[in-house]
Chains A and B, each alone.
Chain A
Amino acid sequence: MIENIPLQYFLIVGTLMFFIGVFGFLTRRNLITILMSVELILNSVNINFVAVNRYLYPNNLHGHFFTIFIIAIAASEAAVAIAIIINIYRKFSSINVENVSSMKN
C-alpha cells in the first residue's frame, strides 16, 4: 500500500514498543520512570490505531480520533500522576515505590 511497507511492519513496531514498556513497568523502582513506561505503552497503542486506520479503513477517521482522545487522556493522566508523585515526595522524601508503604500498616 504505502510504497511496499506492509501493515504488519507497523503493528510489529507497536507490539515491540508495548512490551518494552511492560518490561520497564515491571523492573523500574522509581515512580517517574514507571510513568514513562506507561507513556510508552499508550504511544504504542496509538501507532496501532493509526496504522490500521490508514491501511484497512481509509474511508473513515475512527482510529485517528481515538488516537487524539488517547493523547488527551495521557496528558491528564500525566498531570494527575505528577501531582501525586510530588505529594508523595513531600511526605516520604523519596519517590521509590519500596519506601512508600504507609497504607499497608
Chain B
Amino acid sequence: MEITGAQIMFYIFAAVILVFSVLTVTSRKILRAATYLLFVLIATAGIYFMLKYEFLAAVQLTLYAGGIVVLIIFSILLTSHISEKFEPISKMKTIASFLASAAGAILVSSVFIQYKFVATTKEALNVDMEIIGKSLLSYEREGFVLPFEVISILLLAAMVGAIVIAKKSDDKIINEDKIK
C-alpha cells in the first residue's frame, strides 16, 4: 500500500499534537508550556484544513491561537516570574494520575476501534461561506439562530463579568486616593 500525501500530513499533525500536548502538561517552565499549547492549537487548525472546513480552521487560528494564547501569555507575564521553575510533583501523584488517564485512554480507544461506524449515504454538502452564514441566521430546519443568540448573550455576560471581577474594588481605590 502506497502512502499518500494526505496521510503524511495527517501523521505529521498527529505527532505534533501529541508530542506538544505532553510537553504542555509536563514542562516545568510556564511560558514554555504556553508556547507548546500554541503549537498544539495550530496543528489542530491544520487538521481542520485537512477535513476541508476552512472557515473553522480560520476561526481556530484567530480565536484560539491568536486570542486565547495571547491572553494566557499576558496573564503569565502579570503573575509569574519567567525564570521560575515548578517544584517537581510527588511520584505517587504522578503515577496515580498517569494510571487514571491511561486507563481512560485505553478504554475509549478500544471502544472506537471495535465500533463499526456507518456513514450516511446522502450527498456531501459543499461548505462555503454562504451556507455557513445562512445557517447561522436561519430559524428554519438546519438553522442555528437560537444558539447563535445565546452565545452572543453569553459573550456579553462574560465580558461584563471579567471586567467587574478583575477591576480593583472601590474602597481600595478610595484609600489610594486619600494617600495621594
- Number of chain A interface residues as a range: 35 or more
The answer to whether B25 and A37 touch across the interface, beta carbons within 8 angstroms, is yes
Task: Tell me the dominant secondary structure on chain B's binding face.
Answer: helix
On chain A, the residues within 8 Å of B52 by CB distance are: 54
Q: Once the chains are docked, how many angstroms separate the CA of A87 from the CA of B56?
A: 33
Q: How many residues of B contact A (CB 8 A)?
A: 86
> Would B97 and A54 count as touching, CB distance under 8 A?
no
- CB of B72, distance to nearest CB on chain A (Å): 6
Choose one: B6, B123, B147; the contact of A2 (CB below 8 Å). Answer: B6
Check A50/B135 contact, CB under 8 A, given A17-B17, A19-B105.
no
Instruction: Decide: B10 and A39 in contact? CB cutoff 8 A.
Output: no
Say whether B124 faces chain A, with CB atoms less than 8 Å apart: yes
Q: Which of B5, B112, B135 contacts A11 (CB 8 A)?
A: B112
Q: What is the chain B residue whose CB lies nearest that of A55?
A: B119
Q: A61 an interface residue at 8 Å Cβ cutoff?
A: yes
Using a CB–CB cutoff of 8 Å, the interface residues on chain A facing chain B are 1-5, 7-13, 15-24, 26-30, 32-33, 35-37, 39-40, 43, 46-47, 50-51, 54-61, 64-65, 67-69, 71-80, 82-87, 89-90, 95
